[in-house]
Structure formats: structure tokens, C-alpha cells
Amino acid sequence: MAADTRDRIVFSAMTLFATKGFASTSIADILAAANVNSGSLYHFFPGKQDVLVAVLEAYRDGIHPQLLDPAWKGVRDPIERVFALLRHYRRHLRTTECTYGCPIGSIALELHEPDPAVRQLLSANFKGWIDAIEQCLLDAGDRLPADLDRRALATLALSTMEGGVMLSRTDRTLTGFDDAVRMFRDYVSRLEESVTPPRRARRARVARA
Amino acid sequence: MAADTRDRIVFSAMTLFATKGFASTSIADILAAANVNSGSLYHFFPGKQDVLVAVLEAYRDGIHPQLLDPAWKGVRDPIERVFALLRHYRRHLRTTECTYGCPIGSIALELHEPDPAVRQLLSANFKGWIDAIEQCLLDAGDRLPADLDRRALATLALSTMEGGVMLSRTDRTLTGFDDAVRMFRDYVSRLEESVTPPRRARRARVARA
DNA sequence: CTGCGAGTTGATTGAACATTCAACTCACTG
DNA sequence: CAGTGAGTTGAATGTTCAATCAACTCGCAG
């Protein structure tokens, strides 16, 4: 029962924080969702903040099984994996009517003076994401220019996603997300083409009006 | 005194919401900052939410005098204006130790179930930003490919900024923002070069490792 | 079978907070 | 100068919420 209770708390908090945000989620909400009494929660966690820490640790440690493996199912091409991941977020937006986007991003902007532990974990989560995409871009080898800063490109991928999610959640339309991703894809295509001189078009051009 | 009091409330709330977020700013905070009593605030605003509405209206109506005019001071070139605006946000990050980024973005991600008036105003604020950048890109005329979707590129500019701000605020470092913007700039350079066949390099290349 | 303690229960506490309100000020009008 | 009402005052109200705590359960070690 012990580990089970703790897990239920973390899982419920994960869902609630993603849905309602951290501040707007009350301990009572978590208790109800996890079917737990307040004393049990405070047996495992000194306070609400520490629940958040556990949630962020779970995201950080679960990036492969929870995020990347599903997003990359059946996709082997390293560059396609970048866009498969973006498609994964698009699916989330679509199935939640543009309500639920990136839980880490929401929390990152919601907390204005986060305590160090929380900030570091947010940082670690972003780092994990960027690391994974950077690895894809490194795996793409000479399909991309040799002198390309692949970590910076991975950072732009994250920005594209987070910015697109922000826009789409606000407009309740996918167009903001789609526009941003389409242009990012055009950029990557151009990078690819710049290394393979354009014999014919290597891939259907996507980003034009 | 009447309009003055209202303005002081809106101005104080604007600062506080940007600094501490909406939920974490109490009415008492606003009252203290504006030097006003609660009754006065509730004389002008039915509730806290309506203060937020007034703040978002102020941002929307102030985009030119408050944001674009300062950012574009001395910059006439339409494409350079895009990057001048991004530099403006960078300056904000730098002067606040990567604490204060884009107030609209913070609020947009903080509120998970915003009431319609608030959501529409957030949308209008993003739209104003994208409109302004789209106009720059239209003003760039044939320096960019004729078939380029300039609104989509403006959307990517916004995403780059918002995503970069999110990263930099989290890491308390400018590198995330800088990396994202540097790659975006490389993309725009390549778009320019694709229309002017590369006689020599038109502008010093920037984005390589 | 005893005793320990990890885990659980849920009522209680106290603080923070948005909002209300009745009384007050005072510039302006008729 | 009496009357009106927009604007102001700040104490009071009621609610929400994180956190506490003393009492309880129960598996297990000795």
C-alpha cells in the first residue's frame, strides 16, 4: 500500500497540474483524485511544493517510456523523429481541443519565483528534451551541414513547439502550432538541400503560401 | 482623481502580474502598489478578473507606443526590425536576470480555463504582435521568396521568442534564447539568399557552430 | 503474543484572500 | 447653500486552502 499510495498521489498530481495548473490545484483536489487522506499525503511529502518536485522528477525520468517511445513508434529516420515528436504534441492539442499542451512549459511560465529545486528540475526536463532532439540531429550525420550547431537547432525545435502550443492553446485553433512547425520544417528541408545540391526536389516542398 | 486612481490600479497590476503572475498577485498587493483602498478598486472593477481584462486591453492598445516604437528606434530596415524586436526581449531578460520575459505569454500559459473575455484578449495581443511582424516581412518585398507564407514566418518568430524566453527564464541563462534566435536568423538569411543567388555572402553568416 | 512503527484517518486550525458594505468626503449643480 | 452622487475609506465577512495532529490499523520482528 505504501509505494502504491505515493504513486497514486504523484500520478494524480501530474494529471491535475497539467490540466489546471499548479497554483489552481488544491491539495484537496489531489486527495480526491488519488483517493487518499491528507495525512497520508503529508506522510510522504512535507508540502505541496514537494509533490511538484516528485511530479517533475517523474516527467524527467519518464521522458523515454512516456514521451519519446510512443512518439517515435515506427519512425526510424532521425530527422523524421524530430517531426514525429512535434506531431505527438499536435495530437495532444487536437484530442484536448487545444487545452492541454506541454505540462512542463505551463509550469515553467506559471512559477515566477520557483525555489531552486523546482527550477533545476524544470531545467532538467527541457535539457532532456533538447538532448534527445540533438541526438537525432547528430544521427542525421551529413544530411545536415557539417558546421550546423545541432544543439541550437534542437533548441529552436523546442521553442517552436512551446511557442506553437502557447498560441494554439490561446486561440483554441491548431493554426498557430501548424504555422510554426511548417516553417520550422521548411528550414530543416533547406538545410538538407543545402548539403545535397538540389538535383531534383528531394522532398515535396511544404512551407510556401 | 477618478481616472487617475483607475490608471494607477491598472499600471500597478500590469507590473505585478508580469512579475509575480496573476494568481500569485493578491488584491492586497495591487492595493498597496497603487496606494488605493479596496473599496476604490471595487468601485472601478467588479472583481480581480476584470482588472486582468483592463491590463490586457492596455497591452493590446499600447503595443506601438510601449513595445514597437522603442524596439524599432533607429531601425528602418523591415527585416532588421524583426530582429530588433527580438533583441528588445533579450534586453528585458538581461536587465532582469532572466526573470521577466513576455507578460502575455506568462499569463497565457498560467490560465488554464480562462473566461472568454480574457482568452480573446490574449489572442488579440498575440495577433497584434504577429500582424506587426507580418507587415515587416511584407515590407521586405522581393528580398524574400515570393511564395513564402509571411504570416507563418511571423508566427515562427513569435514562437521563437516565446520559447526562448521560457527556456532562458528557466535556466536563468541567455543561451536558450540566443540559440533559438540565432537559428531563426539563419533561416531568414537563407530565405534571403535563396532569392538573391549567392554571388558573395550578402551578410556575414551567423548560425554555424 | 507483544510491541514497534510505517502508514492511515479525518476533523481541526489558522492564515490568506477576494469581496462587501456602511459611512464618509467633497466637487459640482440647480 | 442644500442636495446629489462619483469616488473613497477600511473594518468586517465568509470562504478556500495548506498544513497539523492525535488517535487508529495492522503487518511483522523478536
pLDDT by residue (tens digit) across A36-81? Answer: 999 999 999 999 999 999 999 999 999 999 999 999 999 999 999 9
CB A35 within 8 A of CB A56: no
- pLDDT score, position B207: 52
**In whole angstroms, what is the distance from residue B166 CA to residue A27 CA?**
27
Best residue in A100, A112, A173 to probe B by mutation, most B CBs within 10 Å?
A: A112
Q: Which residues of B touch A112 (CB under 8 A)?
A: 19-21, 24, 99, 106
Tens-place pLDDT, residues A74-126? 999 999 999 999 999 999 999 999 999 999 999 999 999 989 999 999 999 99
Residues 6+ apart with CB under 8 A from B47: none
Residue A178 has a pLDDT of: 98
Q: What is the pLDDT of residues A163-187, one digit of tens each?
A: 999 999 999 999 999 999 999 999 9
pLDDT at B113 over 70: yes
- Cβ atoms of A134 and B135 closer than 8 Å: no
Q: What is the percentage of chain A residues whose pLDDT exceeds 90?
A: 91
- Reported as a pLDDT band with limits 50, 70 and 90, residue A209 is low
DSSP string, B34-91: HT--HHHHHHH-SSHHHHHHHHHHHHHHTIIIIIIHHHTTT---HHHHHHHHHHHHHH
Q: What is the CATH number that goes with domain B2-53? A: 1.10.10.60
For A163, which of B21, B148, B158 is closest by C-beta distance? B158
* A194 vs A147: CA distance, rounded Å: 12
Q: What is the pLDDT of residue A207?
A: 53
Question: What is the per-residue pLDDT for A105?
Answer: 97
Q: How would residue A1 be classed by pLDDT, with cut points 50, 70 and 90?
A: low
Which of chain B's residues 38-67 bind strand C, using a 7 Å CB cutoff? Answer: 38-39, 42, 46-49
Homologous superfamily, domain B62-195: Tetracycline Repressor, domain 2 (1.10.357.10)
Rounded distance, CA B170 to CA B166, Å?
6
First to last CA, chain A: 58
Task: Write the CA distances from B104 to A20, A29, B85, B98, B111, integer angstroms.
Answer: 18, 28, 15, 16, 11
Quick check: A105 and A166 in contact, CB under 8 A? yes
Rounded CA Rg of chain B:
19
Is pLDDT at B2 greater than 90 in this prediction?
no
Q: Is the pLDDT of residue B6 over 70?
A: yes
d(C-alpha A17, C-alpha A29), whole Å? 10
**Chain B residue whose CA is closest to A149:** B209
Reading the block at residue B190, the C-alpha cell is 537563407
Distance CA A103, CA A93 (A): 12
| Predicted local confidence at residue B198, as pLDDT | 54
Give the C-alpha separation, B34 to B40, whole Å. Answer: 11
- Locate cell 505569454: which residue? B105
pLDDT of B59 above 70: yes
Q: Does domain A2-54 have CATH number 1.10.1660.10?
A: no
Specify the pLDDT at position A196. 79
Residue B102 has pLDDT above 90, yes or no: yes
Q: How far, in Å, CA of A9 to CA of A14, rounded?
A: 8
- Residue B196 confidence (pLDDT): 79
Q: How confident is the model at residue A139 (pLDDT cuts 50, 70, 90)?
A: very high
The domain ranges of chain B are: 2-53, 62-195
Q: State which protein residues have CB closer than 7 Å to strand D.
A: A 25-28, 38-39, 42, 46-49; B 1-2, 4-5, 36-40, 42-44
